[in-house]
Structure 1
């Protein structure tokens, strides 16, 4: 039987003479065992029972008894609603198993039952077309450090307003004032207990000065070994430390490339205020920061950097695809010295053209957008930054001529320590200066940070032993100090501090 009679029996088959072969890239040729031809527009598959609509000059006759299954290597069937595949350099392809973002030919991500995701319909049409940056007239030099980063943030006034966060901008603003609270009251002041320490004896003083000299290579040891210690004066220095552990909160706008998933927007509920979100410090009296995303503040928007194209101009070649050859400086020729003679030869790097293909963009002139990573859509949200800061102030009482700041870095006996949400100043200590400065520092810390919330306060009073030693050596009469449980030495007038006093000379 003629082939034409078989094809006319097929429902919707074309008339003989209209079967032109498919062009390369538009689907496989309809031979025996091959599937139906792909349409040029990559449309959705035809409903069952209907033949593919014939384009003029494209319809090949169907063979009897052969269906239209796709053969391996001839392209997977196009899914409903998907546009043409990405061309090289037009943005990163979608990861396997993940659907493209809404508004670009793909349906929105499937939401689980009961979840209300906020996906604005204008997410893909609210940005102007991407425009190339200025392309230089001449090929730029090969600068591998050039970058596409640094694009400005979008104008917050053009973004979707978030209820309760309408004034938030991209840069962190001032801290949000905490809710009003009253400090707790105490019926009685804390009790102080003082444990006296014995001073550092003469033997410990002499051992400390010898150890001090051994740590300095240019110090002579003869004065330390032969000095005559005439008097030791043991005293105690006091170090009062007040710590206030505060919490402050700031908000700012942020965005990330949208790679699919649920978008938790205001339709899921009202965003909570900054101080209503639960957040606890990792450790007390330790400065650190934590960041949380505010619930129900997310929404989708086209990337402002590439206007939804998924690519931007290459920062290395400025869109030309080629850069000036660094070997010949763009001349195409370079000088070669051989056997004492110089001659000009064609550059082997650029083959005499003076230009080389840009390795960053592969000669395409464009790279994947660094802002959206080629996904073309950004997820905007409000970021809450919680800062825990340990603020401290101290007071040192040291009655000798030794510098007071040396007491801060040595250990001593803890006379009194207290940790409360709000501490009370020390008022019952036998030393008046300690009481007065405790009251002063506590009063200053109560009002020093109006935009932060006080979590805890801690006050510590330490007693540090200090011994002043007077000694004679030859015609020198001076003194030094030994302080702290480490028996550190402060001897600014030690006789042999120069190399002429070293034993090795």
Structure 2
């Protein structure tokens, strides 16, 4: 690894024709801008101390510059710098790069063994405990019916929940620049590696993560395009005058028929952003005059999940998706194959549909790992009697989550107030 040489090529990079930047000490700008040789032979400009205000009064009204107006960093014009091999289509707005193709296995693995699950029914006491927890989660539900409610029946049953998770990686490249503070740029002279040639791995599988890094050998130096390598710019707040209109008196010098105490009757105040100098530090290079360009790679790992629930009459699928049960079948690998021979046809069809969907849903991402499983979700249908009302509700999953839309003691007043 070696550093890019930084020879001294003479005076600072000149401003545009007709600009009012003061000439450098001891000389004038050359008649023609220096011709920068291809990167990385560009010579960075020496450190610069901002000049005082040298601009003539601008023929514009001060009122067009709002108080506190500042200029942020700007992007360089298109085509103003050399392209890097392998990243010629990369811009400052970024873009995702499609991964290289990967062959899909042609033969499915043998059928996986499935476990038989023995479900223990809930007792009436456990049902009332689950109901009490359900009421405690709702501020407008009264607990009175729990004691007086008669549990007439508890009918155990089960349904199946199929889950498919696909773990993917996307890589985005974009040009970036930052002020160059004089540190050496390490480069081996070799072309930069391709976006998918750099070895980057996630810390954990099936966890969302984002990581950024500089692409090796993509760094180069250029003069700041925003200030023309001067390090400072005309203050937009005061148009380079060093003073701005007084707000309290509206630049009249008089306030409530008396001399304005803020500006002393002059109608202007010292410009706050530039402290009266008429110049501000360039926001793009932060006064360093030179910018380091590089290609930034952003790797993003995401988990894409789909679930399918075998419907239970009277019970919304969303209630089952939120609970867990016993895993009866599962598999994990680079690619997974649909479950076959499952006793529930709906699960087998859902597995076939979702696995096929996940193979083509993210063309700009690389599939790193897949997993799927089938859970048997315990469901208890509870018959009850409260006063003259009879009905049913459900207790679902290992969490014993209650679905009871007709709970008899509900107060809607607090819900309306909330």
The yes-or-no answer on 1:170 pairing with 2:92 is yes
Instruction: Give the aligned length.
Output: 373
Paired position in structure 2 for 1:285: 206
Paired position in structure 2 for 1:310: 231
Partners of 2:328 and 2:236 lie apart in 1 by: 64
Paired position in structure 2 for 1:156: 78
Partners of 2:202 and 2:297 lie apart in 1 by: 14
Paired position in structure 2 for 1:481: 394
Q: Secondary structure at the match of 1:276?
A: coil
Partners of 2:280 and 2:288 lie apart in 1 by: 13
Paired position in structure 2 for 1:419: 332
Partners of 1:166 and 1:83 lie apart in 2 by: 32
Contact 2:130 2:395 (8 Å CA) reproduced: yes
Paired position in structure 2 for 1:437: 350
Q: Secondary structure at the match of 2:276?
A: coil
Larger Rg, first or second structure (1 or 2): 1
The yes-or-no answer on 1:449 pairing with 2:370 is no
1:455 is displaced (CA, Å) by: 0.8
Paired position in structure 1 for 2:215: 294
Deviations 1:410-440 (A, max 9, x none): 2322333322111122213322211221121
1:384 is displaced (CA, Å) by: 1.5
Partners of 2:39 and 2:227 lie apart in 1 by: 23
Partners of 2:85 and 2:9 lie apart in 1 by: 34
After superposition, residues 171-320 of structure 1 pair within 5 angstroms as: 171-173=93-95, 175-184=96-105, 185-264=107-186, 268-320=189-241
1:289 is displaced (CA, Å) by: 1.5
Contact 2:168 2:301 (8 Å CA) reproduced: yes
1:284 is displaced (CA, Å) by: 1.1
Partners of 1:444 and 1:384 lie apart in 2 by: 28
Q: Which has the higher contact order (CA 8 A, sep 6+)?
A: 2
Distance 1:145 1:285, change over 3 A: farther
Paired position in structure 1 for 2:246: 325
Contact 1:156 1:170 (8 Å CA) reproduced: no
After superposition, residues 11-410 of structure 1 pair within 5 angstroms as: 119-121=40-42, 137-140=60-63, 143=66, 145-149=68-72, 151=74, 153-173=75-95, 175-184=96-105, 185-264=107-186, 268-335=189-256, 344-410=257-323
TM, length-normalised to structure 2 = 0.81
Partners of 2:167 and 2:82 lie apart in 1 by: 36
Contact 2:112 2:329 (8 Å CA) reproduced: no
Partners of 1:222 and 1:289 lie apart in 2 by: 50
Partners of 2:366 and 2:346 lie apart in 1 by: 30
Partners of 1:136 and 1:118 lie apart in 2 by: 41
Contact 2:231 2:288 (8 Å CA) reproduced: yes
Q: Secondary structure at the match of 1:211?
A: helix
Distance 1:292 1:350, change over 3 A: same
Q: Secondary structure at the match of 1:405?
A: helix
Deviations 1:20-73 (A, max 9, x none): xxxxxxxxxxxxxxxxxxxxxxxxxxxxxxxxxxxxxxxxxxxxxxxxxxxxxx
Deviations 1:228-286 (A, max 9, x none): 22222212232211111111222211111111132346x71122111111111122111
Q: Secondary structure at the match of 1:437?
A: helix
1:224 is displaced (CA, Å) by: 2.4
Partners of 1:260 and 1:447 lie apart in 2 by: 47
Q: Which stretch shows the higher mean deviation, 288-297 or 209-218? A: 209-218
Partners of 1:286 and 1:135 lie apart in 2 by: 57
Partners of 1:215 and 1:456 lie apart in 2 by: 38
Partners of 2:66 and 2:156 lie apart in 1 by: 69
Partners of 2:59 and 2:336 lie apart in 1 by: 67
Contact 1:258 1:372 (8 Å CA) reproduced: yes
Structure 2 gap segments, 5+ residues each: 1-7, 13-20, 23-37, 46-54, 414-418
1:467 is displaced (CA, Å) by: 1.0
Could you say what the CA RMSD is over the residues aligned between the two structures, in angstroms?
Answer: 2.9
Distance 1:322 1:285, change over 3 A: same
Distance 1:314 1:415, change over 3 A: farther
1:465 is displaced (CA, Å) by: 1.7
Partners of 1:398 and 1:476 lie apart in 2 by: 27
Partners of 1:354 and 1:141 lie apart in 2 by: 16
